[in-house]
Structure 1
Amino acid sequence: MAEFVLVAGAWLGSWAWDEVVSELRAAGHGTHPVTLSGLAEKRDVRAGQQTHVQDIVDEVERHDLHDVVLVGHSYSGIPVGQAGMRIGDRLARVVFVDSEVPVDGKSFASGWWNGPAALEATITGNGGFWAPLTAADYEGQGLTDEQIARIVDGSTPHPGTTLTEPAVLPRPLGELPATYIKCLLDGDEPKDVVTELLAAEEHWELVKMDTGHWPMFSRPRELAQILHRSAVRA
Structure 2
Amino acid sequence: MKNLLRPLLLVALALLAAAAARAANSAGKQTFVVVHGATAGGWEWKRTGQFLTDDGHTVYRVTLTGLGERMHLNSPDVDLQTHINDVVNTILFEDLHDVVLTGHSYGGMVITGVMDRVPDRIRHVVFLDAAVPDDGMTLWDLFGGNGPRDPSRFSDGFMQVPWVKPDAQPPHNVKQSIKCFNQPVSYKNPAALTLPVTYVAFIPKDKSAEERAKTDKSWQRAVARGWTIRTFPGGHVAQQEDPRGVATLIEEAVSDQNKPAAPANKP
Please tell me the TM-score bracket, short chain as reference. 0.7 to 0.9
Partner in structure 2 of residue 8 of structure 1: 36
Partner in structure 1 of residue 46 of structure 2: 18
Between the aligned partners of 1:122 and 1:61, the Cα distance in structure 2 is: 39
Q: Contact 1:120–1:164 at 8 Å: present in 2 too?
A: no
Q: Which moved more, 1:56-65 or 1:37-46?
A: 37-46
Q: Which moved more, 1:104-113 or 1:219-228?
A: 104-113
RMSD (CA atoms): 2.4
Partner in structure 2 of residue 32 of structure 1: 60
Say yes or no: does 1:217 pair with 2:235.
Answer: no
Q: 1:122 to 1:93 in 2, by over 3 A?
A: farther
Point out where structure 1 has 5 or more consecutive residues left out of the alignment.
136-148
Per the TM alignment, residue 170 of structure 1 is displaced from its structure 2 partner at its CA by: 2.5
Between the aligned partners of 2:99 and 2:79, the Cα distance in structure 1 is: 24
Look at both structures and tell me which one has the larger radius of gyration over its CA atoms.
2
What TM-score does the superposition give when structure 1 sets the normalisation length? Answer: 0.83
Partner in structure 1 of residue 180 of structure 2: 162
User: Which structure carries more relative contact order (alpha carbon 8 Å, separation 6+)?
Assistant: 1
What TM-score does the superposition give when structure 2 sets the normalisation length? Answer: 0.73
- For residues 197-234 of structure 1, the C-alpha deviation after alignment (integer angstroms, 9 at most, x for no partner) is 32442xx2111111100011011111000111123447
Between the aligned partners of 1:91 and 1:7, the Cα distance in structure 2 is: 14
Per the TM alignment, residue 122 of structure 1 is displaced from its structure 2 partner at its CA by: 4.0
Q: How does 1:1-234 map to 2 (within 5 A)?
A: 1-45=29-73, 46=75, 47-112=78-143, 115-119=145-149, 121-122=151-152, 124=154, 126-134=155-163, 154-171=172-189, 174-185=193-204, 188=209, 189-190=212-213, 191-201=216-226, 204-233=227-256
Q: 1:194 to 1:176 in 2, by over 3 A?
A: farther
Per the TM alignment, residue 121 of structure 1 is displaced from its structure 2 partner at its CA by: 2.6
SS in 2 for 1:225: helix
SS in 1 for 2:106: helix
Q: 1:33 to 1:68 in 2, by over 3 A?
A: same
Between the aligned partners of 1:94 and 1:77, the Cα distance in structure 2 is: 10
Q: 1:197 to 1:40 in 2, by over 3 A?
A: closer
Per the TM alignment, residue 64 of structure 1 is displaced from its structure 2 partner at its CA by: 0.7
Between the aligned partners of 2:162 and 2:130, the Cα distance in structure 1 is: 17
Q: 1:119 to 1:50 in 2, by over 3 A?
A: farther
Point out where structure 2 has 5 or more consecutive residues left out of the alignment.
1-28, 258-267
Sequence identity, in percent? 29
Q: Give the number of aligned pairs.
A: 216
